[in-house]
Structure 1
Amino acid sequence: MADTATKGSPDTATDRMTGGRGTEPSRSQLVTEEGRTRIAEGVVAKISGLAAREIPGVHSMGKGVSRRIGQVRSMMPGTTDMSRQGVSVQVGEREAAVDLDVVTWYGQSIVDVCDAVRRNVKDRVQSMTGLKVVEVNITVDDVFVEGEQDEEKEPRVQ
């Protein structure tokens, strides 16, 4: 009978990568004998915001007031990072929870968009940080209708 441990079988390779624990790669171990890795909430928020925006059907993120402030801020030089807008996170030693406020395009299935956002955020955060994402809560704050852009109105008084 052949010794599979010396042949480099998938089980043995996986055990070597994970310390004998199965399918999680060693890079996901945030607490090891050699030390601890802490991921800042801002990092998880930025990854989550970028991952949500990757999904077709997401027009923008944030509630009405924060979107307006973000639009004004984006016009100012040197303030182009809006990736955390509409994102709130809680990060522990091994887990993270994400809350998102999104605006979808009119005509898109909100359920499908939210499912895709949830999957992408979870996959991106887990693969990039090693944190287990325990929940991704999504609030759809608005539906964007093309042509309903913020049209400049003439002032009522002069």
Structure 2
Amino acid sequence: MSETAPRNRRPENQATEPAAGTPKTLGAAGAGIGPAAAERTRRGGGDPAARGRTTIADGVVEKIAGMAARDVVGVHAMGGGIARTFGVVRDRVPGGRSVTRGVKAEVGEVQTALDLEIVVDYGVSIADVARAVRENVIAAVERMTGLEAVEVNIAVSDVKLPDEEEEPTEPRLQ
């Protein structure tokens, strides 16, 4: 230090307590953090949100997409004939109902692609129902997971007619 420099000057990397009424330091996400957290960030800890990795399983995305698809008016059921038949048996087991029936997801680091198989009610516009399902699924998956839904393929495997019997009420074998 030179003779003309003030002696009470602190090194630039030394932490100081903010004066009363001074706003807190903002982190990367814009949230206010106190002096201790700001010091940890300066020491090389970085943004706490960047300290680790989050992975999302295919089944998580499948559940979100299945619930979102079922919310659309005109969707009678999910899955094809065999999947629905086994689903009826599975639904009778407590905790066995599968919201992922008719949904297949492939999840990457930041993107996901989905294939859905649906049954629509008779009389609805299939194109409109498919569009609504696609929009609802994309919105739900992107909002809840942060993943970009790059592709949502929809296969309409059946139409539920008004006079068709609902899923069998009793199994044929006992």
Higher RCO (CA 8 Å, separation ≥ 6 residues): 1
- Structure 1's consecutive aligned runs of 4 or more residues displaced over 4 angstroms after TM superposition are none
| Counterpart in the other structure of 2:139 | 123
| Counterpart in the other structure of 1:40 | 57
- Secondary structure, aligned partner of 2:109: coil
| TM-score for the superposition, normalised by structure 1 | 0.73
Q: 2:86 aligns with which of 69, 72, 84?
A: 69
Deviation string 1:37-78 (CA, Å, 9 cap, x unpaired) is: 111100000000000000000000101001000011111233
- Secondary structure, aligned partner of 1:36: coil
One-letter code aligned to 2:114: V
Deviation (angstroms), 1:147: 2.0
Work out which of the two has the higher radius of gyration on C-alpha atoms and give 1 or 2: 2
Q: Does 1:144 align with 2:160?
A: yes
Give the conservation status (yes or no) of the 8 Å contact 2:88–2:167: no
Q: Which runs of 5+ in 1 are unaligned?
A: 1-14, 18-31, 153-158
How many residue pairs are counted as aligned between the two chains?
123
One-letter code aligned to 2:91: S
Q: Does 1:79 align with 2:96?
A: yes
Deviation string 1:116-140 (CA, Å, 9 cap, x unpaired) is: 0000000000000000000100000
Distance (whole Å) between structure 2 residues aligned to residue 35 and residue 151 of structure 1: 46
Distance (whole Å) between structure 2 residues aligned to residue 75 and residue 147 of structure 1: 24
| Counterpart in the other structure of 1:132 | 148
One-letter code aligned to 1:128: M
- Secondary structure, aligned partner of 2:94: coil
Distance (whole Å) between structure 2 residues aligned to residue 150 and residue 95 of structure 1: 37
What RMSD, in angstroms, separates the aligned Cα atoms of the two structures? 1.7
